[in-house]
Structure 1
Amino acid sequence: MYIAQAFNVLHDWWRYLVGLIIVIIGVVIGQIPFTIAVFYKAFQNGEKLQDLDESKMLSLLEPNLNLFLMLLSFAVGLVAVLFVAKFLHNQSIKHLTTSRPKIDWNRFWFVFIFWGALSSGLVLLDYMLSPEDYVLNFKLVPFLILFIIAVILVPLQTSFEEYLFRGYLMQGIGVLVKNKWVPLIITSLIFGSLHIANPEVEKLGYGIMVYYIGTGLFLGIMTLMDEGLELALGFHAANNLFTALLVTADWTAFQTHSVFKDLSDPTSAGFIDVFMPVFVVFPIILFILSKKYGWTNWKDKLFGRVEAPPVDDYKILEDTGSQE
């Protein structure tokens, strides 16, 4: 059991609180280079700091530099999560990733390729159906630089979010409340709420929050049903990586030297933006994965109790970190 195995490590409530604080500090430290660069550029342009909103900050820097500095904070955050797991909880990366004997990379690559191909196909289909909404944005040298940055740093960004929300916090909250639905709901709400400052929210309205929270639920359900993070890691990495490479817009968080630029001017989050992915596409993907990996007993895996195994079945880790 993915959540229940957290009983096998140091799982006092205060450790998760301290760990979360350390992770937040790590992310803030990682944001310092981006903040310095933006403030310096604003100073050069004669901009007033109080006038810098999220969209303005993202547009000040050259897109590749902006993406690199923005993703750097997530890379530092990932290091912080793994550091906390190792030294505060005596928990290995494998243990934080999966309940299987070893990390199943086949699962990661299956969903990565599956969703990468499908999402790219949907973008190309929309381009063919509505070519007036796009302009070819491809420039070889900037795109190659983007490709290198994205391939290295985007998976670190998405892995940070998965290890923090569907991993560290899912396990931590689960062993505290001793059920599965509470950590699923809480982590999904927090995950979605942290996107509220994205420029997409300003452009599309708060209705887009249904998509962000729904995506958190989708990834959480995937993790609980599959008893591990491999599928969530693969899906999230593919979603952000292929998006960064294929299409950008002036009102998105990822403003890149992508292949296409979206010129459409959406004013509110509608069916295609929100309800289609959350209520149609995501359930279909869960159904496909359930058939491939033989998921059963949905009620217990999503709403069941999280119980500590008998003392004889695992080693109790004392606060000192020693095993008895």
Structure 2
Amino acid sequence: MQPNTCAAFACFTTKCIVDSTKMGENETKEVATDTSEHVWFPFVFENSTHRDGAIYENTLLRKEWFGFDFADRNETRLEPMMLTKTTKSCLYYQGFCRFHFAKHMLQFFSLTLAKSPVSSGPVQLYGYIAVRDKRDCMLNYVFNHRRDDPVSVQQGSLIEMTGPKRAIKVGSAVLVEFDMRIKNGEQEEDDLQLIDSAMACINEIPWKPIKHRIVGKCGTVDMSFASVEHAVEATIEIVILEVQRCFSLSVSSCIYAMQDYEEIPLFHGTIDQSRGLARFVVAVMLDTDMLLKFKVGNDVIRYRTFKAKQHGCVSRRIKLEFASFMMKVTWSTI
């Protein structure tokens, strides 16, 4: 299905890979790690670059997006979990609140450094990818790293997301802004511009995750996102407890999107002590199961299931010989 979110110059289909995974603990679902994937070349606004200030002087862009103040680079002030608790207005019927409704939400599934000026080794990336919606028209960062805190990424590898801070509403036009650079020496003027511009997403119709390929001066970034229908906001909090030895950990969320479960990488790293992970916000279709997948080392995989609700929170636990995990998922409408 072709989304009308962004005008595309061309597209091509990549190989389909489907993985059916047995969950264990009496939980079995099919999780599609990749499905008939398409890569789109979206329309990027002319004269919308940030480094040279062109986006701030673009009168046509300001006219079309009159509610957005492009000069305001502050992060959204809205927090997640704003409607977690039930209120006096809540009216439940057959288990669902009839006052607070699920809404279509934009969900980023992954970011990938598709092409790099250095093919044989990692580069250091910094900058941001952010989304503006009509909830407050301010920047909601999906990726955000300063120059003094870059991330090391190889060509073809995932770029770990740092957001969004709260759910992204698709009830009206959404703008995606990005300015990413490659650190290339001691001085910022020596750095390479990876991508810098803005693009629009204007369609509410749900679709499967599609990689939107942004071709820049010194490389290419793939942004995989989709509109999730009738969604609620899931805020995921994870704490690692009782660590007995060092181990590698990968955490991802699997959500239902257009007849398949799609995986969203949340965290990948080494754990050597008790700690809490960053808070993650994910859009989940109401009354479907969200799966949290924990991969410990190379062969230990555990899943926990959470049914998407309009309000409330649920906690689960995983206990292994050398560590235990406590997770809490808080549900909210927006």
Normalized against structure 2, the TM-score is what? Answer: 0.21
Kindly indicate which of the two structures has a greater share of residues assigned to strand.
2
* TM-score normalised by structure 1 residue count: 0.21
